[in-house]
C-alpha cells in the first residue's frame, strides 16, 4: 500500500513538473498567453 502511494505521489510530482515546464515553454514563445492566463486565474480567484 505504501509503495503504491509513493508511486502515485511520484507520478503526480512528475506530471506537475511537466506541466510547469510546458507552461514555461509556451510563455517563452508567446508571453501574451501567460499574461492572459494569469488574468483569468486572478479573475477566477477573486
Q: Is the pLDDT of residue 8 over 90?
A: yes
Query: Does 46 score more than 90 pLDDT?
Result: no
Write down the mean pLDDT value for the chain.
Answer: 92
pLDDT of 19 strictly over 90: yes
Task: For the chain, count helices (H), then strands (E).
Answer: 2, 0
Please state the length of the chain.
46
Q: What cell numbers appear for 36 in the block?
A: 492572459
Amino acid at each position: 500500500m505504501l509503495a503504491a502511494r509513493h508511486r502515485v505521489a511520484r507520478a503526480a510530482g512528475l506530471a506537475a513538473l511537466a506541466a510547469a515546464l510546458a507552461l514555461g515553454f509556451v510563455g517563452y514563445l508567446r508571453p501574451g498567453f501567460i499574461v492572459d492566463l494569469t488574468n483569468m486565474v486572478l479573475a477566477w480567484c477573486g
